[in-house]
Amino acid sequence: MEQKKYPLKLSPVCKEIIWGGTKLKSDFGKVCDLEKVAESWELTVRYDGMNVIENGEHAGMTLADYLGDSAKGFPLLIKLIDACDKLSIQVHPDDEYAQTNEGEYGKTEMWYIVDAEPGAQLVYGLENYDKATFAAAAKDGTLEQYLHYVDVHPGDVFFIPAGCVHAIGAGILIAEIQQSSNVTYRVYDYNRRGKDGQLRPLHVEKALDVIVDYTEDEINAIRYADGYFEGALANCKYFRVERYVGEITLNVQDGFMHVLCLSGEGTVGGEPMKKGDSYFLPAGLGAVKVEGTAEIITSVAK
């Protein structure tokens, strides 16, 4: 029997990592037993994190069980990330490299800056990149001079194709839309230690295999590979992401749509929605009205 279709409210999967803060609990209403929440996985169908439906007749069912066979190879992972401290300098492989070496898909992603403290910066690409010089700097701890730092403000968007070196800086809260992959190669981590007291592992050799020194034009060509249109934050081969404020009618046809509320409140398809809420709109749901003052990000997989 076909599952009943309506906007499914998803419970988040909260993750504790050493650089996380408290804003996801205090400002976005995430309820969990963790003292600090680095990441809140808002859309996930993975072995290491699974959403559960909170509303309607399917309440208590995992999203994977609701999706059935279509859960296999689920394409997207969407997160809210609160960086109280800076993240490691890192890079992600593309699909071909990741499938060959990790048995998983690669990772292209996009960041929408939800909040940023004055003076906050992130790492976005490289300066004066030379592979041999970069490799030596990664090993002797002088890597930061080869990184491209960018000031960030709420509303900024950063598209990060596989191969782009990057890192979220301290005092930044983002919405991240990405391929459903957790393959990360750390290049530098400020000699930080994990809960076990050991230095967090680096993956310099693999990182050097996959780093691409992109130009801005090259990144934008990948970001809008399927065409640019007004309001699109990204329209690449993996996902289309848009931002709306206030009333709008969404059209959900051949594929699912994810709705993440970043501020304000309202309803989506008649279901109540407030800051921090996450809704899954099943394929074929059709016209879905969003009413109220909510600021939302919608994501569609390709």
Active-site positions read: 186
Amino acid at 180: S
132 vs 136: CA distance, rounded Å: 6
139 phi, psi to nearest 5 deg: -80, -30
CA distance 290 to 270: 8
Which ranges of 17-169 does DSSP label H, i.e. alpha helix? 23-26, 63-67, 95-101, 131-140
Give the DSSP letter of residue 6: S
3-state SS assignment for residue 230: coil
Place of tokens 């909260």: 14
> Any idea what DSSP says for residue 207?
H
93 SS3 class: coil
**DSSP 8-class letter at 72:** T
Task: Enter the tokens of residue 240.
Answer: 């289309």
Q: To the nearest 10°, the Cα dihedral for 103, 38, 152, 190?
A: -80
Burial class (CB in 10 A: 0-12, 13-18, 19+), 268: buried
φ, ψ for residue 59 (rounded to 5)?
-55, 135
Q: How many CB atoms lie within 10 A of CB 121?
A: 17
d(CA 65, CA 84): 35
